[in-house]
Amino acid sequence: MAKREVRSCGFLIFRKDKDSGKLEFLILKHSRRLDIPKGHVDKGETDLECAYRELQEETGFSRRHLRRVSKFRFELKYDVTDKRDRSKKARKTLVVFLARLRNQQYNRTLVLTEHRGYEWMKWRPPHKLQRKTLDPLLADAEAYLKKNPDAL
The average confidence (pLDDT) of the chain is 91
Residues 108-133: tens digit of each pLDDT: 677 777 777 899 999 999 999 999 99
**Which pLDDT band, with edges at 50, 70 and 90, does 105 fall under?**
low
pLDDT of residue 4: 87
Q: DSSP of the chain, one letter per residue? A: -PPEEEEEEEEEEEEE-TTT--EEEEEEE-SS-EE-SEEEPPTT--HHHHHHHHHHHHHS--GGGEEEEEEEEEEEEEEEE-SS-TTSEEEEEEEEEEEEE-GGGTTPPP--SS-SEEEEEE--SSP-S-TTTHHHHHHHHHHHHHH-TT--
Hey, what domains does the chain have and what are their CATH numbers? 4-147 (3.90.79.10)
**Which pLDDT band, with edges at 50, 70 and 90, does 148 fall under?**
very high
**Which pLDDT band, with edges at 50, 70 and 90, does 68 fall under?**
very high
Residues 4-56: tens digit of each pLDDT: 899 999 999 999 887 888 999 999 998 888 999 999 999 999 999 999 999 99
pLDDT of residue 1: 66
pLDDT of residue 20: 85
